[in-house]
């Protein structure tokens, strides 16, 4: 890992932050891309305080020129990006018949097109290096569906399709592309759903075979494996990390 530079989108919070910390502690140089530049910088500072190498940049995954500029800055400060983890995402919910075009477009723009743009911007550098790892964070809702979350589930299902097709196209360059669909992980996104009364931890824990809520570190552990040398024969896969909720 010490030779590697990783970009983690949405890396200032929740799952992305745990992944950024884990990859840095495994020795990678880490760049955190997040909408909130101050939060990205403070996440990077906390990684550096712990002995890792990290920078935080304000990058909106819906802004393609911004993504390109971010990758250029990473190249000059940390070296070429050969690991990309797409964790930036949002949820919006509501009855399907009341969903506006704007809500649908926003869900797709951040969750799906943002992932597409980051992959397309980072892949040429990985091809040049002859090695690469992409991990796209999707959602366990692609297995189960979720009522009143049509746009989110559709976007995340698109991420699974994007992952599988990219894996086939880039396998010959030493690049793997996989997706982790997390299920029920304790992050600010989940806390917000809790505060709005959309779900209860007790009820959801009961439905989870391992009998506990997931931790961001559970996803980070799976991601650390997928970006490692050990996982060079694992590509195009959907690696569920959900406490057995979806099998």
Using CB under 6 A, which residues numbered 49 to 78 contact ligand NAP? 60-62
In the complex, least distance from residue 87 CB atom to ligand NAP, rounded to whole angstroms: 5
* Cα→Cα distances 123→88, 120, 129, 166, Å: 18, 6, 10, 10
Nearest-approach distance from CB 193 to ligand NAP, in angstroms = 8
Residue 125 CB contacts under 8 Å (≥ 6 apart), including other chains: 71, 75, 80, 81, 82, 132
7's enclosing H/E stretch is: strand 5-9
CA distance 36 to 65: 17
Asked if residues 117 and 65 have their Cβ atoms less than 8 Å apart, the reply is no
- 173 labelled catalytic: no
Q: Cα separation of 51 and 25, whole Å?
A: 8
> Could you say whether residue 240 binds ligand NAP (CB under 6 A)?
no
175 binds ligand NAP (CB under 6 A): no
Neighbours of 81 (CB within 10 A): 24
Among 132, 182, 240, 243, interactor with ligand NAP by CB under 6 A: 182
Question: Please, is 213 exposed, middle or buried when counting C-beta atoms within 10 Å of its C-beta (0-12, 13-18, 19+)?
Answer: middle
CB atoms within 10 A of CB 199: 12
**From 13-21, 45-53, 126-134, 143-151, span contacting ligand NAP (CB under 6 A):** 13-21
Decide if residue 82 touches ligand NAP (CB under 6 A): no
Q: Does 189 bind ligand NAP (CB under 6 A)?
A: yes
- 9 near ligand NAP, judged by CB under 6 A: yes
Would you count residue 12 as binding ligand NAP (CB under 6 A)? yes
Does residue 213 interact with ligand NAP by CB under 6 A?
A: no
Min separation Cβ 180 and ligand NAP, Å? 9
Q: Of the two residues 60 and 129, which places its CB atom closer to ligand NAP in the complex?
A: 60
Residues 6+ apart with CB under 8 A from 179: 135, 136, 137, 138, 159, 160, 163, 237, 238, 239
Shortest separation between residue 36's beta carbon and ligand NAP, angstroms: 4
Question: Which residues partner with 85 through β-bridges?
Answer: 8, 135
Q: By CB under 6 A, is residue 244 in contact with ligand NAP?
A: no
x-or-dash pattern for ligand NAP, window 92-131, by CB under 6 A? Answer: ------------------x---x-----------------
Q: Would you say 42 or 232 has its CB closer to ligand NAP? A: 42
Give catalytic residues, as residue numbers.
152
Give the binding site for ligand NAP (CB under 6 A).
Answer: 9-10, 12-16, 34-36, 60-62, 87-90, 110, 114, 137, 139-140, 182, 184-185, 187-190
């Amino acid at each position: 890992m010490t030779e590697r530079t990783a970009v983690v989108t949405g890396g200032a919070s929740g799952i992305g932050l745990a992944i950024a910390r884990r990859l840095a502690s495994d020795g990678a140089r880490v760049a955190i891309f997040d909408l909130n530049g101050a939060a990205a910088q403070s996440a990077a500072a906390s990684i550096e305080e712990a002995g890792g190498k990290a920078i935080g940049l304000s990058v909106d995954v819906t802004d393609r020129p911004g993504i390109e500029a971010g990758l250029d800055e990473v190249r000059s400060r940390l070296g070429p990006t050969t690991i990309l983890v797409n964790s930036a995402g949002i949820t919006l919910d509501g009855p399907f018949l009341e969903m506006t075009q704007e809500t649908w477009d926003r869900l797709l723009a951040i969750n799906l097109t943002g992932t597409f743009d980051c992959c397309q911007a980072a892949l040429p550098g990985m091809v040049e290096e002859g090695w690469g790892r992409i991990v796209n964070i999707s959602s366990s809702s692609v297995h189960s569906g979720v009522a009143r979350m049509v746009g989110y589930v559709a976007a995340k299902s698109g991420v699974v399709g994007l992952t599988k097709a990219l894996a086939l196209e880039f396998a010959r360059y030493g690049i793997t592309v996989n997706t982790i669909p997390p299920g029920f992980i304790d992050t600010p996104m989940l806390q917000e759903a809790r505060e709005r009364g959309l779900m209860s931890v007790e009820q959801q824990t009961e439905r989870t075979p391992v009998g506990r809520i997931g931790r961001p570190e559970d996803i980070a552990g799976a991601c650390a494996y997928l970006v490692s040398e050990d996982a060079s024969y694992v590509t195009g896969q959907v690696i569920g990390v959900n406490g057995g909720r979806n099998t």
